Amino acid sequence: MDKLFHIESGKEVAFHNNATYCVGTGRMGLALHKEYQEQLKMVQEEIGFSHIRGHGLFCDDMAIYQEYKDAEGNIVSEYKFTYLDRVMDDYLSLNIRPFLELGFMPEKLASGDQTVFYWKGNVTPPVSYERWAALVQETLRHLIKRYGEAEVTGWPIEVWNEPNLKGFWKDADMKEYFKLYEYTANAIKAVNKNFKVGGPAICGVDDEVWMTEFLEFVKSSQAPLDFVTRHHYTIHPPEREGHYEYARLGDPDAGLKELNTTRKIVDSFPEFQGMHIHITEFNTAYIPDSPLHDTNRNAAYIAYLLSKLGEDNESYSYWTFGDVFEERGVPYTPFHGGFGLVANGLVPKPTFWTFKFFRELQGKCVCRERELVVVQKQDKYCGVAWNLNYDNTGEILNITCELPAGDEEYCLVQKIVDEKHCNPLKVWHDLGEPANPGTAQLKLLRESAQPLVTTQRLKGSAGTVAVALELQQNAVVYFEIFEAPVSSDRGYDYNKVMNSLDISVE
């Protein structure tokens, strides 16, 4: 397939790119693991997300909530912030700040014993809303004392996670969640009015009803609300085989239409019109053992989503940055279909590079098409193109992008991620799918997980320079083009150097 895009001088196209505002993480307690920190360091050095969001702030492995009975038999709450400080210190040292999700329920504060995940996060309401509110407030006050008011009040706060699912909130009780939200939001604002708080953090089950009812509740109760949150996944129900679930991708435009419906619901309330919507989780599959996550197809699909998600949403947080993640237990192999951008063993997956490439798309957008985004910076053009192929037809996509240019000479740089280049999953398979790769195998996997870099010289003509891109199946390609006049050292002739290679030596 061949496609030609001609970009006119002075043209500007709407493109809200907030791909690196936030990224997801496994439960907060996992941040105490060495490899978790190593993976996050890699992600921050290469991509640089601004915020990080995950479950488990108040779960018992973080040990924040404690209580005892006094001499009269009254329950007295106390708080231990030892682990919280370690995690927050590490986050800030990597220049990433929390998007705080408040949950799950500490066992001693829970009204029931229903839990979720291998690590048993309690999903029941608090036995005492007053003690829950105090827990939230004391945690925020501690963070302010340690890191400063200006710093901490800039951290967004989300109340709970997916309360519209029975697995995440007992009975998916809407009224009980609204009670939790109101108590929590008011408690937060009582600590400092500058905190930004939001919800309802729902996924795509009865989402229209939940969003409408939530906004009606906030309107009538006057509970604080600074932003709206929801989640977005894009697969059909998967098929289970052994440890894995195999999923078929859904139509991305159908999913985006669902998000647009949320935007319309929010805007239908005069009080909330234009309010920011944060997608605090998104990915293709919603399960942590879906091999789809490890593929180049996932990378190309996510590239298309990143080109579109900013149309209705302020931000969209990829779930998750790394595979130190244990919802269904400790993973069996490095390529187990985990959510992460980085496989265990510090191997970047193809989707890692999708985010790295979109990080560079800051500037004036001059082209946004179904398979291409181009931005103009002060001294160059940068672009990302992708060839999403659902059916493994192997069809190649040839894109020619005609950019405004003078008659100067230019350098075109390409970084190519496709199934032939930068496909560590294939290399792992060819190695025999080792569950615990050795040092040499991990080194090879990391080497195979790097984009192919190519360069070439081009010359402008008749006011344009033509950038030709060949995209293999499920490729994601970054390119940049800039003026690069040759300024050779005295006596140096590159063409003579290369031509001399053809001269035989007698």
Helix (H/G/I), strand (E/B), else coil: 107: helix
Q: Is 162 a catalytic residue?
A: yes
Quick one: tokens of 151?
Answer: 């710093």
Q: Is residue 64 within 8 Å of residue 56, measured between CB atoms? A: no
Among the listed residues 35, 78, 138, 162, the single catalytic one is 162
Distance, in Å, from the CA atom of 287 to the CA atom of 274, rounded to the nearest integer, reads: 32
DSSP 468: E
Q: Is residue 135 within 8 Å of residue 106, measured between CB atoms? A: yes
Distance, in Å, from the CA atom of 501 to the CA atom of 126, rounded to the nearest integer, reads: 77
Q: Is residue 160 within 8 Å of residue 174, measured between CB atoms? A: no
Q: Which residues contact 316 (CB under 8 A, 6 or more apart)?
A: 18, 19, 21, 22, 232, 278, 279, 282, 305, 306, 309, 310
Q: Kindly give the pairing relationship between strand 372-376 and strand 364-369.
A: antiparallel
* CA separation, residue 149 to residues 90, 187, 193 (Å): 19, 16, 11
Distance, in Å, from the CA atom of 386 to the CA atom of 442, rounded to the nearest integer, reads: 28
Distance, in Å, from the CA atom of 321 to the CA atom of 24, rounded to the nearest integer, reads: 6
* CA separation, residue 216 to residues 5, 166, 269, 307 (Å): 46, 22, 9, 32
- Catalytically active residues, by annotation: 162
